[in-house]
Amino acid sequence: MMLKKWRKKKRLLAGVTLSTLLLGSAGAYAAKVSGFGTNLVGEQANGSVQTPVNQLITPAGKQIEFGGNPISVAINPNGKTAVTIVGRSDYGGKGINVIDLASGTMKAQDISLGLSHMWGLAYSKDGSQLYATGSSGSTGKVVVLSVAPDGTPAVQKTINLPTASVGGNINPLDIAIAPDGKLLVALNRDNSLGVIDPQTGTLTNKITVENAPTSVLVNGNFAYVTNQGGRKAQPGDTTVDSSGTPVVTDKTGATTTGSVSVVDLLTNTVVKNIPVGVQPERMTLSGQYLFVANTNSDTVSVIDTKTNNVVQTIDIKPYPNAPKGSAPNAVKMVDGKLMVSLGRVNAIAVYDWKGPDKTPELQGLLPTAWFPVDIAVDSVNKNLVVANADGIGSRGPARNLTIQGITVNGHSSYAQVGSLSLIPFPDAGALAKGTKQVYENNNWYGLKNLNAKPRPHKKPVAMPERVGEPSTIKHVFYIIKENRTYDQVLGDLGKGNGLPALTQFPQQVTPNLHKLARTFPLLDNTYTSGIQSASGHQWVMQGTNTDYEDKETDTANVRSYPGGAGDAMAYAPTGHLWDQAAKYGVSVENFGEDTTGFTGPEPFGTWTDWYKDYQILAGLQKGNLHVPVGDYQATIDIPSLGPITYKPYPTFDMNIPDQYRFEIFKQRFEEHVKNHDLPALTTMWLTNDHTAGNSTNNPTPQAMVADNDLAVGKIVDLISHSPYWKDSVIFITEDDSQNGLDHVDGHRQPAFVISPWVKRGITNSHYWTVINMVRSIEQILGLPAMNQNDAAAEPMSELFTNKPDFTPYDFVPNQIPLDTLNGQPGSNTAVLANTTNITPGAKELAKQWTEWSNKHKDEFSGKHASPDTINANMLNHSVWYATKGFDKPYPGEKKVLTPAEVEQQPESRAPSPAKN
């Protein structure tokens, strides 16, 4: 699928300045800001592409698309070809792609390196060799390739690297060539620079640098290494763990330092560590000056290599007074113009740089595809070669299936299509046109209206026009669920844009979600912004995702998997919703979200033990709790989250039913009702629609989703029958929708906005994402936007009404037993419940999938449980068969497969992200 040539949607009036268009007037934003209307995610009629992160894609230049997420790009020294490497082998691509630069066409595609996750590329000086970094399983590797005269590389040998000093994968990232031909590799989890002899394949030296080295640049006999995790921690520092290394943070948990290590290659010693901005990444050299992109500071540091001092810091602001959030991640110099890749803006910023004593001026912006991460300079054809990691999104081949003679297609969030943009060196005209396009793509027109100062003496309304104006709503509940697509749950609703053939958890399983969708606004065009939990939880709580975590997702999370916290480097410098609330004096209480564990003195017990505890708490059984409430406590790694977290509420664990979570929340909520002290913002992680596959003694997937559905229904019932219903709103989102198919896009989700102050019974097909939910919460509670993403997002105003309906919600009892457990040893009755034709073969398949689930049971539940520890492709097959039957092939496949057969699929060969 080639991106159609972008045609401008509107003509701008001659003489109207760019700043006027951006800032607009101070009138009501609703009359000025267009947003994205009812766009569906994907290609639009005019050739642009709508992403699930509130941005359009209209890249400049020529586009080359391919499966997977490109992380690095390199140009052959002869100037004829370029190569790019995709981040992982199970997102639609396999390895290296070769591009002919003169024609802008694909010369060779998907050259396999035998790696499951990949990162760095470098050519030898003569171009006869190509070196690539990555991993296979938990072993870091460097692949040596010979390059044919036509530019096509072939694997020559693979060099295995040792484990990191903290254990596990050493995580090799960027690679460079020393003057003597040695390979210099950023050994990210080892906090060192590796020196490798490519002839013998020997790691000859490991030079200790600072935390999380990422990029390497050689200047004569010196190597410069960016340390994305910053300086080493010192006594008195606040620190949070990042993959075994304590990194310096503030109370939000986000890192606060960055550095560049200067390595003398003659002595293999670090001669200086230079402080720069936060989370420095790629660099470029122009004359004596080294330019460093600091992604979390939105700056570029300029280092004079003669003194190794920072002589200038360039603020990267794509529009006047822009908040943080551009995520500059790569830099190049072309004819005195500094080109800066802005990952979160989908653009190249062009600065006129005239030396460190003059403040550079922003000349303009060039639109790229989604999430640019690397730039190479094609000086022969006068093009920038830009690697766009997310390209055009999850637009890879749709899986198809036939049910009852009807063939349907479904998209998965994992079907990634990346791209290269070949962008001509820009002149003034191209920059003017490109800048206007970038503004439009990011919804920056009328930003002043969206973020205007509040006006005094305004009458309270449900959704204020401006942040800081009064709302009739005083209490916001924000509930995060796990992993389901819209079609999986609401495809059978009978209204809205659903496809029943893709529905795995219909009304019988999810009666409350169906009733809520019919009672309150049905949102059939709302999207999660992340692909998996590690990125998803960042989006739903931060309104953005760091460049670090986006790349971690695209490269299989080798360093860490913060699927609900767990890595300081994944946290945005602009904070989480609760940080913004604290900053502006808004009270918050957290139930489970972004907690990292749940520990106590007693034996943990089984799902049945916790289910019995729920029944005792609910008054349905008599007896003693196997774990008294409060003995088990949630653990937290983010300093600011600890004081506001209600610790008896569990974290992610499939061994604890959501009914238990509801009872713990109910106890606390009733205390607030009694004491008249309900916080303004309540965040909650309600996890069990994730399911535990077919693992024995855990409920079936249907029962787990029904458990989650009932908990949602009871929570809405509880709030709506309380005194707080009159001034409350409940937002419900999935963290991601990775574990299913959807006929529109794999990011489309079943989302809900529930309140007396919303319009009942409507179908709303406006394009929304979790960023709009975050902005809506901010708008109601009077919280200014945190970053560029939520600053440009529309609140979901059209859902609200100033004529409230205070009718409470009555939950629907579950229609299937919640304690329907997966098959006991020798019995697969529950697993086979949906199988129409129960043959001996079907029974054997059910048995094998039960055995597979049992093998991985500890990763679903107990103290080692973590989101997405299990390979998503394997779990998706397991849940499909359990919900659709062992006589119905998984979408896109011709027969029902055994676990062994599914494990051979490319999607299953890469390890689960949480295991790395």
Q: Which residue among 749, 784, 799 closes a domain?
A: 799
Residue 151 within a domain: no
**Nearest to 247, CA basis, from 703, 645, 578, 560:** 560
**Torsions phi, psi of 299, nearest 5?**
-140, 165
Q: What tens digit of pLDDT does each residue of 345-355 get?
A: 999 999 999 99
| Same domain, yes or no: 794 and 837 | no
pLDDT the model gives residue 828: 52
Residue 755 within a domain: yes
Alpha-carbon torsion, ordered 765, 528, 595, 865, to 10 deg: 120
The distance from CA 267 to its chain's CA centroid, rounded to whole angstroms, is 41
| Same domain, yes or no: 508 and 576 | yes
**Sign (positive or negative) of CA dihedral 555, 76, 260, 365:** negative
| Same domain, yes or no: 710 and 668 | yes
Residue 566 within a domain: yes
| Same domain, yes or no: 525 and 670 | yes
DSSP string for 380-439? TTTEEEEEEEEEEES-SPPEEEEETTEEEEEB-TT--EEEEEEEEPP-HHHHHHHHHHHH
Residue 703 within a domain: yes
List, for the chain, all residue ranges whose pLDDT scores fall below the cut of 70: 1-34, 399-408, 823-835, 859-869, 909-916
SS3 content of the chain, % helix, strand, coil (to 5): 20, 30, 50
Residue 145 within a domain: no
**Sign (positive or negative) of CA dihedral 104, 106, 108, 112:** positive
Q: Which residue among 799, 823, 848 closes a domain?
A: 799
pLDDT the model gives residue 910: 58
| Same domain, yes or no: 837 and 793 | no
| Same domain, yes or no: 700 and 753 | yes
CATH number, domain of 740, equals 3.40.720.10
Domain of 708, in residue numbers: 449-799
Here the tokens at position 579 are: 């940080």
pLDDT the model gives residue 579: 97
Here the tokens at position 774 are: 């975050």
Residue 704 within a domain: yes
* Residue 700 DSSP label: -
End-to-end Cα, the chain, rounded Å: 33
| Same domain, yes or no: 465 and 559 | yes
pLDDT the model gives residue 563: 76
pLDDT the model gives residue 460: 98
| Same domain, yes or no: 760 and 670 | yes
Integer CA distances (angstroms), 665 to 335, 662, 719, in order: 61, 5, 11
| Same domain, yes or no: 734 and 849 | no
| Same domain, yes or no: 652 and 751 | yes
What is the number of domains present in the chain? Answer: 2
Q: Which residue among 799, 823, 857 closes a domain?
A: 799
Q: How far apart are CA 876 and CA 883, in angstroms?
A: 10
- 517 touches 544 (CB < 8 A): no
- 366 touches 423 (CB < 8 A): yes
**Nearest to 35, CA basis, from 440, 393, 515, 417:** 440
pLDDT the model gives residue 873: 84
With residue 752 as reference, give the H or E element that holds it. strand 752-754
Residue 178 within a domain: no
| Same domain, yes or no: 693 and 835 | no
- 351 touches 340 (CB < 8 A): yes
| Same domain, yes or no: 774 and 845 | no
**Nearest to 1, CA basis, from 66, 51, 52, 48:** 66
Residue 339 within a domain: no
